[in-house]
Structure 1
Amino acid sequence: MATTNWTIDPTHSEIGFKVKHMMFTNVSGKFNEYEATIATEDDNFENANIEFSANIDSISTNNTDRDNHLKSADFFDADNFPKLTFKATSLTKKGEDYEIAGDLSLRGVTKSVTLPAEFSGLMKDPWGNTKAGLNISGKINRKDWGLNWNSALEAGGVLVGEEVKLNIELQLVKL
């Protein structure tokens, strides 16, 4: 089988997340700078080799003070750990979609995660490029990677939720 290489189309992709704020609303954010190398056997994504990284300094929640706090040692500690990385260990077909498992590294801590991945199929764009779509969702607990900062609320509860909901929309381009 021939190896097919893919890259992320950054103009049609988003590496997003949501976290509860004050126990009742979500704050959304994303990483604006990221890269990936993806290799498949022909156009079959099962058992694809996927390596991904995002620059922590590119985090954006539409609030400069909050973004700077997230980059600080209270959270991601971007000065010491400038990248978030993910290396897939398996991509398994589940019906029409996939389940992606791999090692997620943040703040020098690596943990295995398994996330559902919705496969949108293959399509040629108007310029003849073959594209594939993947939507990766799921949840992680930020404390598993040492992102422990929080503040108690006067009425009970905490300022920042532990659960992080992932919403990763990827449009891949065949190289």
Structure 2
Amino acid sequence: MATIKWAVDPMHSEVQFKVKHLMITTVTGYFQNFQVEAETSDDQFSSASKVVFTADVNSINTNNEQRDTHLKSPDFFDAEQHQQVRFVASHYDNVGQGELQADDYELHGELTIRGITKPVTLKVEFGGIVVDPYGQTKAGFTVTGKISRKEFGLTWSAVTEAGSVVVSDEIKLHAEIQLVKQG
């Protein structure tokens, strides 16, 4: 059976992260430059033999240049030494029960940040496959998850005079991914 290759449609995809600031509000950031590559044996992604995501750390954007510079510094991502965030999937499981949840999956794999690799499980909602007006076959996914930033060496911390944590450990991940069938 032939391998089908899929690549991200960057015009219809986004990758964001959310973190609590002072434990009272949430700051959202984006990776503006990223890639997703997938290989399947058919149009059903349960047959995926490869799913690889990479994001350019220097493309971080939180709508605040000073904060973005700090995130790229050795205090956080250390973009000079560790230019990419990388996720390599190991398997993709359908965890939906019943007709209404048949498109719920878990994507298991290894996430690497700052040279530290840890197993991660992400929730995936498969939006379906359609052919767009230009004849391209596209697949859509909503991907969510949570990680501990400290497990990946993002350990910078500060405390306010009142004892409040400035940046939470938990990072929420959210991605809207549209893949295009290649060739």
TM-score (ref. length: structure 1): 0.98
Q: Which aligned pairs between 1:1-175 and structure 2 lie closer than 5 A?
A: 1-48=1-48, 49-95=50-96, 96=102, 97-175=104-182
Q: Deviations over 1:114-158 (max 9, x none)?
A: 011000000111111111101110110100101000110122221
Q: Which amino acid aligns with 2:113?
A: L
Identity of aligned residues (%): 50
Q: What code does the residue aligned with 1:157 have?
A: S
Q: What CA RMSD, in Å, does the superposition of the two structures yield over aligned residues? A: 0.8
Query: Structure 1: which amino acid aligns with 2:66?
Result: D
Gaps of 5+ in 1: none
User: SS at the partner of 1:140?
Assistant: strand
* Greater fraction of residues in strand: 1
Q: TM-score, normalized by length of structure 2? A: 0.93
Unmatched tracts of structure 2, length 5 or more: 97-101
Distance in 2, matches of 1:54 and 1:47, equals 24
Q: CA deviation at 1:52?
A: 1.3
Kindly provide the CA deviation profile for residues 78-126 of structure 1, in whole angstroms up to 9, marking residues without a partner as x: 0000011110001111222210000000001000000110000001111
Shift of 1:37: 1.5
Query: What is the CA–CA distance in structure 2 between the aligned matches of 1:173 and 1:24, rounded to whole Å?
Result: 39
> What SS is found at the alignment partner of 1:46?
helix
